[in-house]
Structure 1
């Protein structure tokens, strides 16, 4: 006798903290008809977040660990969702019992819907060099006098702070007074509020100009139209070399994330941050008045966040190759009257770097689900 258990995340595998996760769980008796009906003693589901750390770089105080009393498990079952999982359980919702003593005839199936709100203060899904947060919906079920079978459904969580207070992100003039003569609007969902916040904080509010100089003078001027971006957006900027005193041969822009362990969790007091590079743009700019760059923010990346253990920030890392000497070369006039210039065989150059912090916010989780490698459908036989 065999019962097939199927779990389906219909909306996708990416959710915002504060959203309600819905999962359809189907139990089907796929055994032969002659064997008659089959039954399961119980089934329960629970959401857990596991935190794995690099033991050589991170020390976790006891306060960051959930005790066995904190991890809610049913006393009359052996349902332990974190059993066999690596790392520490840092978030665990209360288990939901789907049924007790379910009887299914051959060929028959029964579907239950599991719903759970992902806590607003939950950490985001993150895979860093020293810390990893991973989420799973764990389904446990048991046949009488048999061991418990677990089905784990991984999913991704994005965190957007301020979902409970939209006024934090709005300018005073954007807050409209209430009108007692208008019909009350339907209350916005978490997704509606989140999308409103994202549109507000990532809106273009005027260009930002930065003068880049070294000890010998001005190298370039960088212009960004905004400094806050959503996952999947393009960071577009302009490099202006029209009014400079130091010749720039080439420049490079790299989008980087910076992972910093909190002081109380560092293995060594002297250890620094870990950098991860994503997208790189390089351009030759000698004798160029203006140049532009476009850096896409990956949908699979983790936005800015901070927990008791780790903090992640984002930045644009610039590298400029400048010439120490005046530009020399061979100039000649062609037969058609045009002029061509041949650069020198060698140049005396130096490299300077400059880092510009940027803010990266989540995107619509539906869009993020379109590029994820996580499966919507999971199956196990009991």
Structure 2
């Protein structure tokens, strides 16, 4: 009996960015029982595997038909799913493998994810997911398939800026004439696109640029909202403040919800008219964290909404457009019975039993990006 174990090289995480390299250790072990052996010779005591291969498969589960895949899929025996959108070239681990009882063999596999592949997403009408597929076969038996799920995050969209290595004969700059440390490497290394994307993402999400919004309805001004920055990473807190000192309409109750909007793009993106019509239509909404507050008598308040680490950042494909927004609900009133009359009073003030209210809804788009995959704890799945 053979046992196959697949272990990701990245510790305590199975999360990767688009364009990153997935590294896996595949261990084949022979746990045959002695009574299953026909003879005690070395040839009969060994178990035999004909071949073994590994590849990464991506799938899309939706009710709509996928007209064009992301890339041309190679025709292999592992493409058993009709909704395959990504399939890397299979790499052969071994051929004609013979293992004795208690013996094991470990193989190393590495493959780079395409930079333009869709991220892992579990939506309402569409789902994207990825698996590392390990396939083996005995002579005269069926192909045995082991699949290890991985999570893929979208890569920040930047230009492909790679720092070149200077060739011999180039002009010598002042930096090269400065004294060098013999204990440090002087060679200029090529920076990968993933490293540039993470550094650019860190600079964008760390930049604080307060944006102020005046909130009004048909009866007057409700207040002023301040959002300290428009771009966030997974795991960060969305912090904002509300100022009601400039109001002409009293706000009784406030609720803010972090929402993910899923818009299906039914038409092809080649037609600009169909793009505008499809993106202008509202999609299906999923609620996440929420802040609720009774703000009667408050002049200022603040909100804090944490962004979960398990959600998918904003992205767009040929089939779906995923966006994030803050959904506000303001309950307002023009009644003056909510506050006690001016002047001292010996009796306790009791609020009115009923008031006339009006609810106003406001959606504020925000940008949510990926974070460093090593900061997301997601245990490896061993099979």
Interval of TM-score (by shorter of Structure 1 and Structure 2) = 0.7 to 0.9
The alpha-carbon distance between structure 1 residues 190 and 13, as it changes in their structure 2 partners (threshold 3 A), is farther
Aligned length: 347
- Structure 2 unaligned segments of length 5 or more: list them: 38-44, 163-172, 179-185, 269-273
TM-score with structure 1 setting the length: 0.84
Match of 2:84 among 86, 89, 105: 89
For the 8 Å contact 1:258–1:273, the answer to whether it is kept is yes
Q: Does 1:72 align with 2:51?
A: no
User: Which one is further off, 31-40 or 315-324?
Assistant: 31-40
Matched residue of 1:62: which SS?
coil
What residue in structure 2 maps to residue 174 of structure 1?
none
Q: Does 1:324 align with 2:329?
A: no
Q: Separation in 1 of the partners of 2:355 and 2:148?
A: 58
RMSD: 2.6
- Structure 1 unaligned segments of length 5 or more: list them: 75-79, 168-176
Q: Does 1:220 align with 2:223?
A: yes
Post-superposition CA distance 1:244-277 (Å, at most 9, x none): 11100011000001111114179x9897411111
Matched residue of 1:202: which SS?
helix
Q: Separation in 2 of the partners of 1:325 and 1:24?
A: 69
What residue in structure 1 maps to residue 19 of structure 2?
18
Matched residue of 2:202: which SS?
helix
1:191 Cα deviation after fit: 4.9
For the 8 Å contact 1:51–1:133, the answer to whether it is kept is yes
1:162 Cα deviation after fit: 2.7
The alpha-carbon distance between structure 1 residues 61 and 158, as it changes in their structure 2 partners (threshold 3 A), is closer
Higher RCO, 1 or 2 (CA under 8 Å, sep at least 6)?
Answer: 1
Post-superposition CA distance 1:311-331 (Å, at most 9, x none): 101000000000033345555
Q: Does 1:356 align with 2:364?
A: yes
1:296 Cα deviation after fit: 0.6
The alpha-carbon distance between structure 1 residues 61 and 179, as it changes in their structure 2 partners (threshold 3 A), is same
Deviation beyond 6 Å, 4+ runs, structure 1: 268-271
Q: Separation in 2 of the partners of 1:303 and 1:260?
A: 14
The alpha-carbon distance between structure 1 residues 25 and 196, as it changes in their structure 2 partners (threshold 3 A), is same
What residue in structure 2 maps to residue 345 of structure 1?
353
Q: Separation in 1 of the partners of 2:118 and 2:247?
A: 45
Q: Which has the larger radius of gyration?
A: 2
Post-superposition CA distance 1:10-62 (Å, at most 9, x none): 31211001100001000011113573111100001111111111x3xx3x353
What residue in structure 1 maps to residue 53 of structure 2?
44
1:205 Cα deviation after fit: 2.8
Q: Separation in 1 of the partners of 2:344 and 2:79?
A: 76
